[in-house]
Chain A
Amino acid sequence: MKIIAARKLLKANDQLAEENRARLDAAGVFCVNVVGSPGAGKTTLLEALFATVAGRVKPAVIEGDIAGSLDAERIAKLGVPVVQINTEGACHLDANMIAAALGSLDYDAVDVLFIENVGNLVCTAGFDLGEHLRIVVLSTSEGDDKAAKYPAIFQGSDALVITKADLLPHTNFNADRITADMKRLAPNAEIFQVAALRGDGIVATADWLVQKLSSGR
């Protein structure tokens, strides 16, 4: 006896992701999935963006971490609502975890929800969370070959934010190389260079996000 199934294995996640997106749409919340390696500067970028968009948008954050709540504490200090997901070892967030976290958000107080994914350039690529936009964060110290080495995560992203641009003189990072690779993998993606601790490039990134938010709803 043979049962022919021919089912996609990630279908369960994709279905839940669509449900999350529908829920967010109904609530008028624009959702951004922020991915990148550990130490790329995802939290620092969010901190800088929040300072810049203060008064213009009402952000909230879902923090995905393997353990602890260090990043969530940093976000909470800014007065931004934050939900911590501890994946207890899992290398990525999935749509089911986001569905659970969405339940504890006050939708009226939020118009843009950032999901800071687990630091990982590999596994996070395979899981749609129900976001409207995905941003990949890459620091100059990680090297300009990362899009070529981890194409999937770059290919599915709507923007590349190159962080720690103030370190460029001290590295062999070639912005032209990563730009060419990104244009090849994701021709429509925006590319930003920022130095979040100094504020360089943050206004341009924030303006783009606000514009996406107003056209996406």
Chain B
Amino acid sequence: MTPLAASPKNMHELSIAEALIGQVEEEVERSGQTGRITHLDVTVGRLSGVSCDSLRFAFELLAPNTLVEGAKLNITEPVAKCRCHHCKSLTEIDDLIMECPKCSSREISIEGGRDLLLQSIELED
């Protein structure tokens, strides 16, 4: 048996915040900009499995001594939609569901709401 220790992380959102900060650093380096980062625009779909509160908490925890220290996290949370093939309704949903909220048919498809994106980075000039 070979023991192997991974880097310490203690929740899902912490590794997402880590990825976010890493990607911001890559993008800023590539742009050659040196101004302080003021805002980050992030998309966290309602069905992405990520809790925005936990993501904010993890971000604040990891931000000190990185390029994003002091930056504000703007999160947009696109909703998902349930399209029912039986009653033809289109309903906004917050959770993955099994049946149409209108007619309880199981002939449904879930659209959108899964995005987890770094949209843009705002820096001082």
Shortest CB distance B107–A (Å): 9
Shortest CB distance B21–A (Å): 10
Cβ–Cβ contact B3 & A69, under 8 A: yes
- Interface residues, chain A, CB within 8 Å of chain B? 1-13, 69, 72-73, 76, 82-92, 94, 97, 100-101, 104, 122-123, 125-126, 148, 151-152, 155, 181, 184-185
Residues of A near B98 (CB, < 8 A) are 148, 151, 181, 184-185
Shortest CB distance B112–A (Å): 15
Residues of A near B42 (CB, < 8 A) are 9
Closest residue of chain A to B98 (Cβ to Cβ) is A148
Cβ–Cβ contact B12 & A126, under 8 A: yes
Shortest CB distance B100–A (Å): 12
Cβ–Cβ contact B106 & A90, under 8 A: no
Interface status of B103 (Cβ within 8 A of chain A): no
The 6 residue pairs across chains A and B that have the minimum distance between CB atoms: A89-B10, A123-B12, A151-B96, A3-B121, A90-B9, A88-B8
Given A90-B15, A184-B98, A69 contacting B123 (CB threshold 8 A):
no
- Provide the bound-state CA to CA distance between A10 and B41, in Å: 16
Cβ–Cβ contact A5 & B27, under 8 A: yes
Identify whether the interface residues of A are mostly helix, strand, loop, or mixed.
mixed
Residues of B near A11 (CB, < 8 A) are 23
Could you list 22 A-B pairs, sorted by A, with CB under 8 Å?
A1-B35, A1-B124, A3-B28, A3-B33, A3-B122, A3-B123, A4-B120, A8-B116, A8-B117, A9-B19, A10-B16, A72-B1, A76-B1, A85-B5, A86-B5, A87-B6, A90-B6, A90-B9, A90-B14, A92-B12, A152-B47, A152-B96
Within 8 A of A (CB), among B11-48: 11-12, 14-16, 19-20, 22-24, 27-28, 31, 33, 35, 42, 47-48
Residues of A near B12 (CB, < 8 A) are 91-92, 122-123, 126
Residues of A near B123 (CB, < 8 A) are 1-3
- Provide the bound-state CA to CA distance between A73 and B1, in Å: 8
- Provide the bound-state CA to CA distance between A86 and B42, in Å: 30
Interface status of B2 (Cβ within 8 A of chain A): yes
Cβ–Cβ contact A5 & B23, under 8 A: yes
Shortest CB distance A49–B (Å): 19
Cβ–Cβ contact A125 & B49, under 8 A: yes
B49-69 vs A, CB cutoff 8 Å, 1 = contact: the mask equals 110000000000000000000
Shortest CB distance A50–B (Å): 15
- Provide the bound-state CA to CA distance between A92 and B15, in Å: 10
